[in-house]
Amino acid sequence: METYAKAIDAGCHEIQPVTDLPDHGVSNAIFMDPFGYIWMLHQVYLEVSFEERKRLWEEKRAN
């Protein structure tokens, strides 16, 4: 995520690195800015239907 990289380069503190959540088609990251505000960036790269997410969750639960 370009925005996340810019924030870290500008002195923000990493809380959670960019994390890919493929079952949801998203990635996210969390950081704290120099003023103490906490930010979460969320990027959708694939639309996953509710039915597909439910199916994936049920498959993981069965294993």
CA distance 37 to 48: 30
User: Which CATH number characterizes residue 36's domain?
Assistant: 3.10.180.10
pLDDT at 22: 84
Range of the domain at 27: 2-62
**Could you give the strand order of the β-sheet that contains 13-21, starting from the edge strand earlier in sequence?**
13-21, 26-32, 38-44
Render each residue's pLDDT in the chain as its tens digit; 63 residues: 899 999 999 999 999 999 998 888 899 999 999 999 999 999 999 898 889 888 888 988 887
Find out whether 18 and 27 touch, Cβ atoms under 8 Å.
yes
pLDDT at 26: 92
Number of structural domains in the chain: 1
